[in-house]
Amino acid sequence: MSKTVKLKKGFDIKLVGEAEKQLADFKPAKTFAIKPTDFIGMQRPKVTVNEGDTVKAGTPILFDKAMEKVQYCAPVSGEIVEIKRGDRRKLLEIKILADAYISYESFDKFSGDSLKSLSKNDAIEQMCKSGVWPQIIQRPFGIVANPEDTPKSIFISGFDSHPLAPDYGFLLQGEESNFQAGIDILSKLTSGKIHLNVNGESAIPSVFANAKGVELNKFSGPHPAGNVGVQIHHIDPINKGDIVWTINPYGVVQIGKLFLEGKYDASKLVAVTGSEAAKSGYVKTFLGACVDTMVSGNTKQDNIRVVSGNVLTGERINKDGYLGFYHQQITLLPEGDQYEFLGWMKPTSSRLSYHRALGLLSFLSPNKEYVLDTNTNGEERAFVQTGVFESVTPMDILPVYLLKAILAEDFDEMEELGIYEVVEEDLALCEFVDVSKHPVQEIVRKGIDLIQYS
């Protein structure tokens, strides 16, 4: 039965620089990269290509020796121009110089009755060898799902409440048939329900409203209402021993295209956002695109930070860096390396703060959009027991006590306090409002790793 969930806890970070709902005329990227660092939990990556090799979109270029069945494939056709390694030969990037016209590996096509009669094992085999399987993420732990497991349910968040997040209705225009085919395939992978969760405060995009075979739930409230972990918590909570799979709508569409068209189509729309973007909008490119064409000549100043993803959970990259595997936006922000006299004590209404602190008057203008830099405005210190973490976490957990249990490596306490229900993004807002300046997301990942590998 569909549910309507209204959340009160949380906080919307309203920033200047939302992407205009139109295609921007940026030059196409020339190089693309797959970064093993995007796949949390990848233990022993093995490269299957060499520099100078030519590949097609859908050609396997990488796999994890711990789960060899799942292949990571080239998003475009072209030449492998660099296999970049770091300290101790850690694999960082596999770069591809793209062809002018993309050619694709061929996979089996299905439609109508043949799609319905396709077996679970055959569906999994095609997904694993074609490159779409890594779109499926397992909870707990937030890692690429194991195709040998069977989840109790599958969750899809149909909206993103992070700052400056792209609009899914715009991203998925015209993808109704591909999305439905993706849902039909996913339904073969679980005996439970597929939960499609949408924003209850706005019109439901047609790609979601017309979907069949899903339970449509509505969520409303401030961020993190769009986080799939929060949605799981309120619909079908995870207990020790449970497995739930999650996938974003882009991944569902990609699965649908694989089975309907017989190819690994890694094309996507990416939102160019942020206060320092001279021109915002959406650009059509491919997964793992180099962002240089979106950044070069498109900044209001030179001293900026480029983030692949959103400002809370995204990854800092160079101006010629590469879009993350799971990211659908880049954000351009002022670099926070300049300091103000009196800092946070200086009376101002131009700086956003969750706290009604002396001098920070942003609470008087709740709908104002702000230009924020990356300065943390403080340094790490002891945890302050203010209750503020709980006020921005719409889950029945105690974040401060959970974080302390992780730091103390107390396994029993971590389990009792909800470590199985969270990943980094679920407590990212705590890091933003933390007056003690702790790396909350790093601590959460440390706790997950302790539980997973103990």
pLDDT score of 359 = 45
CA distances to 55, 81, 104, 287 from 99, in Å: 10, 12, 11, 15
The amino acid that residue 109 corresponds to is: K
Q: In which band, very low, low, confident or very high, does the pLDDT at 389 lie, cut at 50, 70 and 90?
A: very high
Q: Which tens digit of pLDDT belongs to each residue from 326-351?
A: 999 999 999 987 776 655 556 666 67
Q: b/e for 100-130, b at 16 or more Cβ within 10 A?
A: eebebbebeebeeeebeebeeeebbebbbbb
Out of 261, 283, 310, pick the residue that ends a domain. 261
The lowest-confidence range among 25-34, 56-65, 361-370, 404-413 is: 361-370
CA 62 to chain centre: 21
Range of the structural domain that residue 347 is part of: 339-372
- Is residue 352 domain-shared with residue 447, that is, in the same domain? no
- Is residue 242 domain-shared with residue 363, that is, in the same domain? no
Out of 261, 277, 294, pick the residue that ends a domain. 261
Mean pLDDT of 63-73: 96
- Is residue 122 domain-shared with residue 256, that is, in the same domain? yes
Q: In which band, very low, low, confident or very high, does the pLDDT at 358 lie, cut at 50, 70 and 90?
A: very low
Out of 261, 294, 326, pick the residue that ends a domain. 261
Model pTM score: 0.95
Q: Which tens digit of pLDDT belongs to each residue from 282-304?
A: 999 999 999 999 999 999 999 99
- Residue closest to 295 by CA, chosen among 309, 311, 307: 307
Residue 28 has pLDDT above 60, yes or no: yes
- Is residue 251 domain-shared with residue 143, that is, in the same domain? yes
CB neighbour list of residue 24: distance below 8 Å, 6 or more residues apart: 272, 279, 280, 281, 282, 283
- Is residue 142 domain-shared with residue 208, that is, in the same domain? yes
Identify whether 205 is preceded by a cis peptide bond (ω within 30 of 0): no
Within a domain: 128: yes
